[in-house]
């Protein structure tokens, strides 16, 4: 049910085609902001041990390797290489999705109008629920991105943001086993919200003002 909140036990996260050549074509969002949001989403999956799938298209002949910063978050995990723009046409990819055992698929991709829209539609047709991370996906124009999001939303996909995914997983600040890692991700990737957390740490709770000082203690 789409009214059920996301949690680490009912969902999987999928990163599609975060490669240099695809990044070059993004025009609907500042690319540094996109990069930041993708890494935040990846850290959310990592912190909560959510099954994660990485996939790339035409690495050697056109698109280049997946972003190394994304690969670093999932060391030892090889992206599924494809030739088709539609990852759902890869038997290996579909098998990996089914192997997660999760029905809720959190998807982010470059580009929104192709590499997100195509498998999102196919996954919903196959009976999966799709949660499209809008601010961690990019299209070749604002019109292309927005039209693709409307298309998959009309088909039943649920729009999300990267921060929303992270906080939906955490949900309760009493969940101390992930508390520090979540706030570290917020401070690094969430702009004004992260600065607010930093302020509370130092000015309210008396944490050292510098990371060097914190290590020294």
Collapsing DSSP to helix, strand or coil, 157 comes out as: coil
Q: Decide if 4 is inside a domain.
A: no
Is the same domain home to 36 and 81? Answer: yes
Is the same domain home to 54 and 111? Answer: yes
> What pLDDT score was predicted for residue 166?
97
Long-range contacts of the stretch 42-46 (C-beta < 8 A, 24+): 42/13, 42/15, 42/70, 42/73, 42/74, 43/73, 43/166, 43/181, 43/185, 43/189, 44/13, 44/162, 44/165, 44/166, 44/169, 44/185, 45/13, 45/106, 46/73, 46/74
CATH of the domain at 138: 3.40.50.850
Q: Decide if 3 is inside a domain.
A: no
Is the same domain home to 153 and 63? Answer: yes
Q: Decide if 2 is inside a domain.
A: no
Is the same domain home to 161 and 182? Answer: no
Tokens 């192997």 identify what position?
A: 99
> What pLDDT score was predicted for residue 204?
67
Q: Decide if 93 is inside a domain.
A: yes
Q: Decide if 197 is inside a domain.
A: yes
What is the DSSP secondary-structure string of 82-151? ESSSSGGG-HHHHHHHHHHT-SEEEEEEB-IIIIIHHHHHHHHHTT-EEEEEGGG-B-SSHHHHHHHHHH
Report the Cα 179 to chain-centroid distance in Å: 19
What is the C-alpha separation between 217 and 214, in angstroms, rounded?
A: 5
Is the same domain home to 142 and 59? Answer: yes
For residue 178, give both structure tokens. Answer: 């992930």
pTM for this predicted structure: 0.91
Is the same domain home to 145 and 208? Answer: no
Query: Which of the residues in the chain have pLDDT under 50?
Result: 212-217
58-92: pLDDT as tens digits:
888 888 899 999 999 999 899 999 999 999 999 99
Q: For residue 9, report the phi and psi dihedrals to the nearest 5 degrees.
A: -90, -15
Is the same domain home to 183 and 107? Answer: no
Residues in contact with 65: Cβ distance below 8 Å, sequence separation at least 6, in sequence order: 19, 20, 56, 59, 71
For residue 172, give both structure tokens. Answer: 């309760």
For residue 47, give both structure tokens. Answer: 């912190």
Q: Decide if 16 is inside a domain.
A: yes
Q: Decide if 6 is inside a domain.
A: no
> What pLDDT score was predicted for residue 197?
84
Residues catalogued as catalytic? 115
What is the C-alpha separation between 47 and 8, in angstroms, rounded?
A: 10
Per the structure, the complete domain to which residue 203 belongs is given by: 172-216
Number of domains in the chain: 2
> What pLDDT score was predicted for residue 210?
60
> What pLDDT score was predicted for residue 205?
67
Q: Decide if 5 is inside a domain.
A: no
């Amino acid at each position: 049910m789409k009214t059920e909140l996301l949690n680490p036990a009912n969902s999987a996260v999928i990163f599609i085609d975060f490669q240099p050549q695809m990044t070059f074509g993004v025009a609907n969002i500042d690319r540094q902001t996109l990069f930041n949001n993708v890494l935040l989403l990846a850290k959310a999956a990592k912190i909560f041990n959510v099954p994660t799938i990485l996939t790339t298209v035409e690495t050697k002949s056109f698109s280049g390797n997946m972003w190394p910063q994304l690969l670093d978050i999932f060391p030892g995990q090889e992206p599924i290489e494809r030739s088709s723009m539609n990852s759902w046409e890869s038997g290996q990819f579909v098998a990996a999705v089914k192997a997660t055992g999760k029905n809720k698929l959190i998807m982010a991709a470059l580009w929104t109008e192709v590499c997100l829209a195509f498998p999102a539609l196919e996954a919903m047709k196959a009976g999966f629920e799709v949660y499209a991370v809008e601010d961690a996906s990019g299209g070749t124009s604002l019109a292309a991105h927005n039209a693709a999001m409307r298309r998959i939303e009309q088909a039943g996909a649920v729009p999300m943001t990267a921060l929303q995914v992270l906080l939906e997983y955490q949900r309760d600040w009493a969940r101390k086993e992930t508390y520090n890692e979540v706030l570290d991700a917020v401070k690094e990737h969430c702009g004004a919200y992260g600065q607010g957390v930093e302020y509370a740490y130092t000015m309210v709770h008396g944490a050292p003002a510098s990371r060097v000082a914190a290590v020294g203690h």
